[in-house]
Chain A
Amino acid sequence: MKLLDLAKASAVNLYAHLPLAVRRQEMTGYIFGLMAGFFYGAWNVIAKTTINDYQIPPILFATVAFCFGVLMFAPFLVMGVPKALVNSRFSLAMFALSGIASGSAIIALSFSLEKADVTVVAPVVSVSPLITLVIVRVFMERLEKVTWTLLMGVLLVVGGTVMVVVGDTVL
């Protein structure tokens, strides 16, 4: 119980210097990021089982999933896109480019996994946060600050991810 109180007090102190709205925004951002990681992790487990059990080619699997995704988002497409086209075409184009980038990544990953073992492919793909860091440092320095602590954190996550993937598939 004392440990829990200490942890709570430390968390409060760490964010005490920031305005309440910023603190809330940051904390929800971190929580959303971790939740996204959880859902992607769940996806990995179920997708692996489904692809193997039903013998579905990965690219076809991804495409059918995208089709279902589009159907699920249909109300937001119908209601949100006309308004967004008036408000900011640039933002909409950026979201489209994001979808093209992740769609291309999924295709490249599928082809890569067809030609090589997951122990080769997964560690290479897991360097993605480091690439993000480099892009942000070079092209978006005014928007985001890359610190040594962040670099250390990213290196630990990437290294840990490689260890988990290799440990899960080789050992």
Chain B
Amino acid sequence: MLPVILALLAALGFALSGVFVRMAGPRVAVLTGTAVSVVASLTIAVIPAIVLELPALQRISIAGFLWILLLAFVNYPLGRTLNYASVRRIGAARAAPLFSSSPLWSVVLAVAFLGERPNVMIIAGTVAIVAGVVLIVTERHPR
């Protein structure tokens, strides 16, 4: 039961993240806002990381750090900035399902670069995600 509660809390956290950005309004530049949010995320994550996993820090190789550096670039200057810019333009409710389609992109990348083969369930899920995105994007008078 605990893992499900934690997963629900994670879902609530991700949802609130977009809502707060929407509430922030247009007065602060997206890049500045994203920078502040990354600092806030770090302050929340650093204590459990130090308390629970500090010895493991010494075991991370240079290559491991370089991969994390690349991932940080993909996630924060690219992913989070675009996420916030999207919320500012179309609102939290419409933007959330768009970046929640990330598992679809994971599968597309895995098929393209890792040679994985999608099964029926993945193909059906992909069709559902694309249909949902098309419904949201093509809706008339969305405001």
Contact: B82 with A167, CB < 8 Å? no
Size of interface on A: residues with Cβ below 8 Å to B: 118
| Inter-chain residue pair count (beta carbon < 8 A) | 489
Interface residues of B in 40-86 (CB under 8 A from A): 40-46, 48-49, 52-53, 56-57, 59-61, 63-65, 67-80, 82-86
**Which residues of A sit under 8 angstroms from B122, Cβ to Cβ?**
163-164, 167-168, 171
Closest A residue, CB atoms, query B16 = A101
In the complex, per-residue mask of A126-149: 1 if CB is within 8 Å of any chain B CB, else 0: 111101110110011001111101
Task: Return A150 CB to nearest CB of chain B, in Å.
Answer: 6
Interface residues of A in 152-169 (CB under 8 A from B): 152-168
Bound-state CA distance A84–B79 (Å) is 22
Contact: B104 with A37, CB < 8 Å? yes
Residues on A lying within 8 angstroms of B by beta carbon are 11, 14, 17, 25-26, 28-30, 32-47, 50, 54-57, 59-70, 72-74, 76-77, 79-81, 83-84, 87-88, 90-92, 94-109, 111-113, 115-116, 120-122, 124-129, 131-133, 135-136, 139-140, 143-147, 149-150, 152-168, 171
